[in-house]
Amino acid sequence: MTEEVLGTRYRILSRVGEGGMAEVYRARDSVLNRIVAVKVLRPQFASDEEFVERFRREAQAAASLSHPNIVSIYDVGQDGDRYYIVMEYVSGKSLKDLIREEGPLAPEKAAGIACQILAALDHAHKNNIVHRDIKPHNILVTPEGAVKVTDFGIARATSTSALTETGTIIGTVNYFSPEQARGETVGIGSDIYSLGVVLYEMLTGRVPFKGDTPIAIALQHLQNTAISPSELNPRVPRELGRIVMKALEKDPSKRYQNARDMVRALEKYVPVPGGVRIDAAPSTGDGGGENRAADAPTEVFRPPAMPRAAGPKGVDDTLAKPRKSSRGVGKAVAMLVMVTLALFSLAAVAVIKLPEWLYVEEVRVPDFTGKTLDEAKLMAEEAGLRLDEPDRRYDDSVPPNAVISQRPAPYEKVKLNSRVLLVVSMGKEMVEVPDLKGLDVRQAVLELERLELKEGIQTEEYSSDVARGRVLSQSPEAGTRVEKGIPIDIVVSAGPEPNVVAVPDVVGATLSDAESRLALAGLVKGNVTEEAREGETPGVVLSQVPPAGQEVQRGTAVDLVISAGTEGSSSILDAITPVSTLVTILVPPGADQQEVRIKINDYYGERDYYVGMHAPGERIEKQVNAWGRKVRIRVYIAGILYKDEWVPKE
């Protein structure tokens, strides 16, 4: 579209920006020979009556306003099927770009910009116009710091009682008010809320609410309370934080009721260079501002009294003023000449010396980036420069207390004793670990992503108290402050521990091994029977019921059939048949101490069961426990067989 001419008057020079429904061009007005901005409705909307009406509405709304902080509308027209608005060309950048470049602005600077926006809104509100789309993208800032509000594309001019339509959500979701989110009637308070969001972003570098979808963000505007800017950025005074939070009240009646109230609050708590007068611009509406020049009392400045006209000299005059001698007059003239020469001499010296007196030495600004704040202070002192109170922001790549950037730039020439502003890192942004216990795994992961934390190791444990798929525990614990990006480990419930188990295969195992395997699986040994089978090792499991692999309830008994070996061999049952009997011994007379020995011969073979020294006449009772269906017990005293018996007795 470059070099095209619209309306036979506006020659397009270059494209400078675009919006949702229009493109903006830099152009030259050939009639008035000046640079202007031309907003052209996109071709796809030119046939849409709703968009054309909205486009015309912007021109009408903005054209009715005349204020230093509002972009002026010069003309509106149609060239074929193209609709356009001609407006004031503002050199500078959007407030959004300024925030992206500088991060959180200094509180004084942010308050100054906010006051200028409020001055523009106050003028619009007095003319019964609500902007309804206040956001950094629609705020232009010139290199001199002047602020211009633009894009009245969704503004409405109605009565003071109803300043917008209902039932339609209009605005940008990150900045619109709760009443806009609900599609309710929107008034002055909506612009105050949006300005609160813009001021919040200027002070913290971020909007108060974020989300993956517009609906998610809108719900937060309706339900959530923003974190105070003073908590996110320690450089923001608490009083200023409270001003922002009041503007962000969900209930419009609890916000500032008009723009000038908020300006007074900002000027009271934060020094704004030069102040901001919101009633200086003329209003074309119902008024409300003061005309200080008209109300001031009229002052009469009287001219100085003129000397009376000289008349004929009388005798009294002659006597009253004796004539000066000619000698006195000569001295006066000589004195006047000397004073004049002295003044000329001083002037000549001043002209010669003035450049020298006014000259200030120039120095190069050191490169402070990467240095600690203490190092930067020493470098500034050595270079003859002064450091302003630094701006501070979080930074993932620069360590805490190190310089991120500076203004003026490194190696730039400045006057001696100039001031330098540094941006100092606060390190990685810290967040508080949320309480994930009881949350569904997906909910827990989304919560971690919202806080820019990572999902760590996920493990499972049985639990009868927490439903399957919900978080049992976490590490680090909830409430711990950690850096963004830190992984959070979670333990997830696998539900109640199952009561059904599979029966293990114990065929071929010994009886003791089979019993161990069953216990490990949560089962118990049931009935054990013998079966003589040629070629099978005695004591080995031949079969089991239930069979291997079958699922049964925990605690079920498993019956076993074990090998008894060949016919006539010792039965394995001998190994599991206990025998118990009481052996009574009366030590006969003899030596002082006599050895008493009890030997048994059972399933496991012959062995000493008891050996001890006892005195003559001592009565000994020992409970003997052995294994097998027939057990032989023999008692020796001093090496001589004292008793020999079988249990049970034959």
pLDDT tens per residue across span 304-320:
333 333 333 333 333 33
| Whether the predicted pLDDT of 288 surpasses 80 | no
Distance, CA of 527 to CA of 561 (rounded, Å): 8
Tell me the backbone φ, ψ of residue 363, rounded to 5 degrees.
-135, 160
Percent of the chain, pLDDT > 70?
80
The answer to which of 190-199, 235-244, 285-294, 315-324 has the lowest mean pLDDT is 285-294
Least confident range of 71-85, 152-166, 456-470:
152-166
The pLDDT value given to residue 570: 53
Q: Where are the alpha helices (DSSP H) in 23-106?
A: 43-46, 49-63, 95-102
Over the chain, what is the mean pLDDT? 82
Domain ranges of the chain: 5-88, 93-269, 362-425, 431-493, 500-574, 578-647
CA pair distance 347, 354, nearest whole angstrom: 10
Helix (H, G, I), strand (E, B) or coil at 8: coil
- 3-state class (DSSP) for residue 444: helix
Note the pLDDT of residue 395: 87
In order of 270, 282, 364, 407, the CA distances from 589 in angstroms are 116, 138, 121, 116
Task: Check residue 17 and give its pLDDT.
Answer: 83
Q: Is 90 exposed, middle or buried (0-12, 13-18, 19+ CB in 10 A)?
A: middle
Whether pLDDT at 1 is above 70: no
Predicted local distance difference test score (pLDDT) of residue 284:
36
The set of residues, in sequence order, having a beta carbon less than 8 Å from that of 81 and lying 6+ positions away, is 43, 46, 47
Q: 3-class SS at 626?
A: strand
Is residue 301 scored above 60 in pLDDT?
no
In the chain the first and final C-alpha atoms are separated, in Å, by: 125
Pick the CATH number of 362-425 from 3.30.10.20, 3.60.15.10, 3.40.50.80, 2.40.128.20: 3.30.10.20
- What amino acid is encoded at 569 in this protein? S
Cα–Cα distance measured from residue 473 to residue 174, given in angstroms and rounded to the nearest whole number:
34
Q: Note whether 257 and 191 are within 8 A (CB).
A: no
- Overall fold of domain 578-647: Immunoglobulin-like (2.60.40)
- Indicate the fold that domain 500-574 takes in CATH: Trypsin Inhibitor V; Chain A (3.30.10)
Name the token pair of 167: 């039932």
Q: Would you state the pLDDT for residue 214?
A: 85
The distance of Cα 583 from the centroid of its chain, to the nearest Å, equals: 85
User: What is the C-alpha to C-alpha distance for residues 94 and 139, in angstroms, rounded to an integer?
Assistant: 6
Q: Which H helix or E strand runs over 24?
A: strand 22-29
Are 131 and 121 contacting, i.e. CB atoms less than 8 angstroms apart? yes
Do the domains 500-574 and 5-88 match in fold?
A: no
Mean pLDDT in residue range 91-118:
93
pLDDT at 273: 45
Q: Is the peptide bond before 648 cis (omega within 30 degrees of 0)?
A: yes
The token duo for 91 is 């050199």
Report d(CA 448, CA 440) in Å as an integer: 12
Q: In what order do the strands lie in the sheet with 557-563?
A: 524-531, 557-563, 541-545
Which one from 133, 151, 395, 602 is the annotated catalytic residue? 133
Q: Which tokens sit at 64? A: 């009715």
- Give helix 188-204 / helix 95-102 axis angle, nearest 10°: 20
Mean per-residue pLDDT for 122-129? Answer: 92
Kindly report, residue by residue over 475-533, the tens digit of the pLDDT: 999 999 998 889 999 999 999 887 889 999 999 998 889 999 999 999 999 999 988 87
E-strand ranges in 161-296 read none
CA 44 to CA 235: how far, in whole Å?
47
Q: What is the DSSP letter of 136?
A: G
Superfamily holding 93-269: Transferase(Phosphotransferase) domain 1 (1.10.510.10)
Lowest mean pLDDT among 168-172, 255-259, 553-557, 600-604: 168-172
Q: Spell out the long-range contacts of 61-66 with Cβ–Cβ below 8 A and sequence spacing 24 or more.
A: 61/129, 61/152, 61/155, 61/156, 61/157, 62/87, 62/150, 62/152, 62/155, 64/127, 64/129, 64/157, 64/284, 65/123, 65/124, 65/127, 65/129, 65/152, 65/284, 66/281, 66/282, 66/284
pLDDT of residue 343: 65
602 as an active site residue: the answer is: no
* Residue with the larger pLDDT of the pair 20 and 461: 461
Provide the CATH topology of domain 431-493: Trypsin Inhibitor V; Chain A (3.30.10)
Residue 135 CB: number of other CB atoms within 10 A? 22
Alpha helices in 359-428 (DSSP H): 373-383
Percentage with pLDDT > 90 across the chain = 54
Of 231-240, 302-311, 409-418, 464-473, minimum mean pLDDT range: 302-311
pLDDT for 186: 85
Residue 531: beta bridge partners? Answer: 563
Q: Write the pLDDT tens digit of every residue in 335-360.
A: 776 766 666 666 555 555 545 544 56
Does 487 sit behind a cis peptide bond, omega within 30 degrees of 0 on the bond before it?
A: no
- The secondary structure of residue 138, as a DSSP letter, is G
Please state, in angstroms and rounded to a whole number, the distance separating the CA atoms of residues 142 and 162.
34
What is residue 166's predicted lDDT score, i.e. its pLDDT? 39
Fold of 5-88: Phosphorylase Kinase; domain 1 (3.30.200)
C-alpha to C-alpha distance for 323 and 318, rounded to whole angstroms: 9
Q: Which tokens in the block code for residue 113? A: 């910009």
Tokens of 100: 């992206």
Is 80 exceeded by the pLDDT of residue 239?
yes
Average confidence (pLDDT) over 585-589: 91
Q: What is the DSSP letter of 177?
A: -
Residues in the chain: 650
Q: Are 155 and 129 in contact (CB under 8 A)?
A: yes
Q: Which of 647, 649, 650, 569 is nearest to 609 (CA)?
A: 647
